[in-house]
Structure 1
Amino acid sequence: MSDLKRTPLYDLHVALGAKMVPFAGYEMPVQYKAGVMKEHLHCRAAAGLFDVSHMGQVILRADNPEVAKAALERLIPQDVLGLGEGRQRYGFFTNDAGGIEDDLMFANRGDHLFVVVNAACKDADVARMRAGLEPDVTVKLLENRALLALQGPKAEAVLAEHHPSVAEMRFMDVATVPIAGAECWVSRSGYTGEDGYEISVPLAAAQELAQALLAHEDVEAIGLGARDSLRLEAGLCLYGHDIDDTTSPVEGGLTWGIQKARRSGGDREGGFPGDDRILSEMQKGADRKRVGLLPEGRAPMREGTVLFAVADAETPVGTVTSGGFGPTVGAPVAMGYVDAAHAEIGTNLFGEVRGKRLPVSVAKLPFVAAGFKR
């Protein structure tokens, strides 16, 4: 643990009784005193506060903002030029083989783009952007801001007490809002499937803001354990598990994140790494697909569980990439990849758990309906 970095909220986590664990090079809270189950259910019912300061916050800036947008389109298959000011999109870096190098969020903040990338890929992503965008675009990794996520059906009411304008924001809106005396960059987004906000705040104000939000009776601190179970129930991918540099966006079920302008026949078709494979698979289909999985009984099927078409088959048809108990569902849930021939909802399969072949069925994603304010 001595070689790990700490977020600006480390001392607050310890004071709140968090169990700290290594994660993506940081000491992070996996759970607090209440435990993962109660934290998960509290976020679904009220509001949870997450420290996501380990993630990378990056500014892309050019003399002409349109230059920065066009340049970013060379690295990702999303429509950046068509993104309006004050709006945000989900995206992903792709490689020449059509795999996903990382997923990300990017926002149009008028004179610059604001990009948030995963902690484990932060250094590689910044290097990728500098190699692909400079000298036309300045790539700046911010070291002076923390990042918090306030998630849950009561998040709007809680944050609106600090600034009423946040209640008017729609899903994927971004705005600069003064909260607890600090200039915060707020987006109406998150990775739990619930309504909520992500808040970029200056380091010096991070602890004061966190304490101000936690002072509300509806807000509890939530750790990585519940963050993982929340995103799994919401059918959201965890990079390095459900998607990686070998997974295409088509296999991963992420083609909704590729806008019309970048698809076949669009006015800016292709022009991103791996476009041959990705556009071909979008038209013809992929050999395997990411699917939801509902194991029978109470035994979870964890990452790495091998899937078979029939109980006594020798050749597997898929693998679980994320799995655990879904507190909201009240049963085990999982995601994984199966051959396209076995990907139809309702298909019965078998997962090998501790030497036994247990029944599991292909299920519709998400397991819990999204609560986004559109």
Structure 2
Amino acid sequence: MSELNRTPLYNLHLELGGKMVPFAGFEMPVQYPLGVKKEHIHTREHAGLFDVSHMGQVKLTGANAAAELEKLVPVDIIDLPVGKQRYALFTNDDGGIMDDLMVTNAGDYLYVVVNAACKAQDIAHMQANLGEGVELEVLDDRALVALQGPEAAQALSRICPAVNEMVFMDSRQVTIDGVECFVSRSGYTGEDGYEISIPAAEAERLCRLFIAQPEVECIGLGARDSLRLESGLCLYGHDLDQTTTPIEGSLIWAISKCRRADGERAGGFPGADKIFDQIANKNYSRKRIGLIAQGKAPIREGAELQNADGVKIGEVTSGSFGPTVGVPIAMGYVATEYAVLETEVYALVRGKQLPMTVAKTPFIEQRYFRG
């Protein structure tokens, strides 16, 4: 643990009884004394505060920043409105997903948040491929927290009324108790909420202010994982990787219409031809699906998926008990002929076939605030 990085909130986690574990090169709280299940339920019913400072925060400046970044993603960056955020994917030459990320047009610059485990790779990828005149700054001096849940707006607006004016995927610079912060109304739980970038020196003070609100509890990585799984959201390195295309990953919605084969800015990103072929000709053999267990045993990542004859047809990539839905749930990949709602498949667990049903994701109703 001594070789791991620590976020600006490390001492606060210890003070609050956080159980620290290694994650993506950092010491991070997997849970607090409340426990994973209660933290999950508290976030669904009230508001939870998550430390996500291990994520990479990057600032891109220059007149051509949007056009240059658009060459690396199948997403419309050029016409992204000021103050709006968009989900994007870095693809490789084979159409595989190198990482998923969030991009915001902050007006004078692009603000990019990448996954912790891919941070060094993504920064190197941008540095190598963004053209001249684009300056990349890694924001190492900032913390990042997420305040999530149906009472998140109530809690945060008590301190900063301006956040009430925001809707899902809005981003803006706001002052919270005298501190300039960059806030987006977004998150990774399926609930309403905010992600807040804070100068590292002020992070602990502001977070103490957040958790002093009666709605808010600190939430660890354990509940963060079950919350995102219930909401059908992918975890990079598990549900997505460099061998998986956006089409196989059921992320066609993440390819902007103007970047598709018949769009006005078609292609121009790595792997475009393969991705367009998959869209046009359904030229792929597997698909990401949701699964609900018919029994009570949780089905974990790595479990083999079989058909009734015991033939392997896929694999589970994320699996857990869903505290909100009350049943074990999973995501995984199956051969395309089995990727049909209500199809019965079987997870192989300790030599036994456990029946599961292919189900629609998200498993819960997403409650983003759209105004």
> Under TM normalisation by the shorter chain, which class is it?
over 0.9
Query: Which residue matches 1:36?
Result: 36
TM-score by length of 1: 0.98
Q: For 1:317, what is the secondary structure of its paired residue?
A: strand
2:357 maps to which residue? 361
Choose which of 314, 322, 326 in structure 2 pairs with 1:330: 326
**Aligned mates of 1:283, 1:300 — CA distance in 2:** 37
The Cα shift of 1:164 comes to 1.3
Matches of 1:181 and 1:32, distance apart in 2: 29
| 1:134 Cα deviation after fit | 4.2
| Residue aligning to 1:55 | 55
**Residue aligning to 2:307:** 309
Number of residue pairs matched by the alignment: 369
Amino acid at match of 1:289: K
Q: Which amino acid in the other structure matches residue 321 of structure 2?
A: F
Q: Is the 8 A contact 2:45 2:150 kept in 1?
A: yes
Q: Distance in 2 between matches of 1:339 and 1:372?
A: 32
Is 1:300 aligned to residue 298 of structure 2? yes
Q: Where do residues 181-200 of structure 1 align in structure 2 (5 Å cutoff)?
A: 181-200=178-197
Q: Is the 8 A contact 1:288 1:340 kept in 2?
A: yes
2: distance between equivalents of 1:284 and 1:328?
Answer: 38
Question: Is the CA contact (8 Å cut-off) linking 1:180 and 1:208 kept in structure 2?
Answer: no
Counterparts of 1:9 and 1:243, CA distance in 2? 29
Give 2:108's match in structure 1, choosing from 72, 93, 111.
111
Match of 1:88 in 2: 85
1:272, 1:11 → 2: CA distance?
Answer: 42
Where does 1:129-144 land on structure 2 (aligned, <5 Å)? 129-144=126-141
Superposition pairs of residues 175-186 of structure 1, within 5 angstroms: 175-186=172-183
Contact 2:160 2:177 in 1 (8 A): no
Aligned twin of 1:321:
317
Task: Give the equivalent residue in structure 2 for 1:346.
Answer: 342
Residues of 1 paired with 2:175 and 2:354: CA distance?
53
> How many Å apart are 1:136 and its aligned residue?
2.3
* Residue 255 of structure 1: how far off its partner (Å): 1.0
Shift of 1:39: 0.1
Alpha-carbon separation, structure 2, partners of 1:109 and 1:362: 40
Give the CA deviation at 1:200.
Answer: 0.3
1:14 is matched by which residue type in structure 2? Answer: L
Distance 2:286 2:249 in 1: 9
> Which amino acid counterpart does residue 358 of structure 2 have in structure 1?
V
Which segments of 5 or more consecutive residues in structure 2 lack a partner in the other structure? Answer: none
Query: In the alignment, which of 155, 161, 172 is matched to residue 164 of structure 1?
Result: 161
In the alignment, the residues of structure 2 paired with residue 74 and residue 252 of structure 1 have an alpha-carbon distance, to the nearest angstrom, of 21
CA distance in 2, matches of 1:45, 1:283: 42
In 1, the alpha carbon distance for the partners of 2:67 and 2:132 equals 14
Contact 1:184 1:201 in 2 (8 A): yes
Three-state SS of the structure 1 residue aligned to 2:198 is strand
Distance (Å, rounded) in 2 between the aligned partners of 1:323 and 1:73: 33
Q: Distance in 2 between matches of 1:232 and 1:110?
A: 33
Alignment of structure 1 residues 13-32 onto 2, 5 Å: 13-32=13-32
Q: Structure 2: how far apart are the matches of 1:60 and 1:281?
A: 32
1:157-306 matches, cutoff 5 A: 157-285=154-282, 286-306=284-304
Any gaps of 5 or more consecutive residues in structure 1? none
Which amino acid letter does the alignment assign opposite residue 364 of structure 1?
K
Q: Partner letter of residue 17 of structure 1? A: G
Partner of 1:5, secondary structure, is coil
Of 115, 118, 123, 1:121 maps to 118
Per-residue displacement from partner, 1:268-322 (whole Å, max 9, x unpaired)?
1000000011111122223211000011111011111111111x42x31111000
Report how far residue 163 of structure 1 moved: 1.6
Percent identity of equivalent pairs: 59
CA contact (8 A) 1:295 1:360 kept: yes
Contact 1:251 1:290 in 2 (8 A): yes
2-side partners of 1:346 and 1:206: how far apart? 46
Moved more, 158-167 or 118-127: 158-167
SS in 1 for 2:156: helix
**Secondary structure at the residue paired with 1:30?**
strand
Letter of the 1:19 partner, please give it. K
The residue number in structure 1 matching 2:4 is 4
Note the C-alpha offset of 1:82: 1.3
SS of the aligned residue for 2:159 comes to coil
Secondary structure in 1 matching 2:20: strand
Q: Quick check: 2:191–2:367 contact (8 Å CA) kept in 1?
A: yes
User: Using the alignment, how far apart are the partners of 2:177 and 2:114 within structure 1?
Assistant: 26
Whole-Å separation in 2 of the counterparts to 1:222 and 1:30: 8
Structure 1 stretches of 4+ with a deviation exceeding 6 A read none
C-alpha contact (below 8 Å) 2:68/2:131 kept by paired residues:
no
Counterpart residue type for residue 334 of structure 2: V
